Chain A
């Protein structure tokens, strides 16, 4: 076997080892994240969503029939709100029941 071939094989192996290590590290990180902070993160994201929806209601409320802010200023803020409009309307018009409390 030529020398250069052996050397290359060795390098390949090292790389493989590094990949596994990284994966393990990510997995462990994921487990810890899930145990320690996932619930918190979810709660925070939910609160953030509520705040976003509240803001949308104040600024673009007249879309649904709540005229709160003069339309001139609503229109100024409209471009930024576009990506959230669909989810906002859906969450506002969604029927609510007991299972909402669980999630």
Chain B
């Protein structure tokens, strides 16, 4: 048997970040909520953070938490769901305020304001704003463990590669700024004037880089951050996981584990009156379970059954947590 989820967490005392990634609709948010629940029951102070614009944590905890900041949904169980649109609007206002303050003007020039509005409409803006929110929460360090529910693949991890690219960019930009400053200084000296003060743009660039580096380091250090994938026993999910493993490899991240979700209990087959529909489904799943065990054995951390109800509300989350952590190899519903 591979290491179970509980054994994994017990063996990583320095862990601060847990990330759930994978295709949409397979149970990332449920797994995140259950993990946060489990940590809160063990006397830790977890924060479950959803970056999903579809606001599913609100559904799971049956409370409207979208864009409302950090909320304690159960004793020492904290949850936050970022409203990216709201954050972007706040960010735009910050930029405008800065312009007003720098140039002592009341009205932003139309041309500039138009640019601020169009730039904020770009899709990449949502991602950046979400990651910024994530980095901000991490930097504050008010919680013992951060559980991130990433939006369906691709972007979740693309963030790390984006940080790498931006880092290279900022290097180049710093270089041009430095050269420009050198020329300016030389000119000032030749003209017999005193040298100029520090470049504010350079200060801002360094600040952006510091934030990105902190974020990237937090996510790529295997001691402090664990990446999990949630899959189901179906062909698509298996192919997706193979691709994801390649991607993780390229980014230099180690996948910490796989949670197989929505497994129909095979014990149902023992019932002679089972419907053909269910029988076919279970047999199909079992076929893919075999493939999953063959391909990803070292990564499998827990098996979670398909429930007869949607996993909603604290009671159901507690049940999912029980399956994930206490009986990881049983798929008969308790």
* Residues of A in contact with B (beta carbons under 8 Å apart): 29, 33, 37, 40-41, 44-45, 47-48, 51-52, 54-55, 58-60, 62-63, 67, 69-83, 85
Contact between B115 and A44, CB atoms less than 8 A apart? no
A79 to chain B, nearest CB (A): 4
Contact between A79 and B124, CB atoms less than 8 A apart? no
In-complex Cβ contact of A78 among B95, B180, B186 (8 A) = B95
Number of residues of chain B lying within 8 A (CB) of chain A: 41
Q: Give A67's nearest chain B residue, CB to CB.
A: B122
Contact between A75 and B122, CB atoms less than 8 A apart? no
B128 to chain A, nearest CB (A): 3
Bound-state CA distance A59–B102 (Å) is 19
Known pairs A72-B128, A78-B95; list 20 more (Cβ under 8 Å): A37-B190, A41-B187, A41-B190, A51-B183, A52-B180, A55-B173, A62-B122, A63-B115, A70-B128, A72-B125, A73-B128, A73-B166, A73-B208, A78-B99, A78-B112, A79-B99, A80-B201, A82-B99, A82-B102, A85-B112
Bound-state CA distance A84–B91 (Å) is 23
Q: Give A70's nearest chain B residue, CB to CB.
A: B124
Contact between A48 and B208, CB atoms less than 8 A apart? no
Bound-state CA distance A54–B177 (Å) is 10
Bound-state CA distance A33–B187 (Å) is 12
The 8 A-B residue pairs whose C-beta atoms are closest, nearest first, are: A72-B128, A71-B119, A48-B183, A51-B180, A79-B98, A37-B190, A79-B99, A44-B183
Interface residue SS majority, chain A: helix
Contact between B112 and A59, CB atoms less than 8 A apart? no
Interface residue SS majority, chain B: helix
Residues of A within 8 A of B180 (CB): 48, 51-52, 55
Residues of B within 8 A of A29 (CB): 192
In-complex Cβ contact of A72 among B129, B177, B201 (8 A) = B129
Contact between A59 and B173, CB atoms less than 8 A apart? yes
Bound-state CA distance A12–B183 (Å) is 44
Q: What are the interface flags for B109-130 relative to A under an 8 Å C-beta threshold, 1 for contact and 0 otherwise?
A: 1011001100110101100110
B220 to chain A, nearest CB (A): 20
In-complex Cβ contact of B120 among A44, A48, A71 (8 A) = A71
Contact between A72 and B190, CB atoms less than 8 A apart? no
Residues of A within 8 A of B179 (CB): 51
Q: What are the interface flags for B271-285 relative to A under an 8 Å C-beta threshold, 1 for contact and 0 otherwise?
A: 000000000000000
Contact between A48 and B184, CB atoms less than 8 A apart? yes
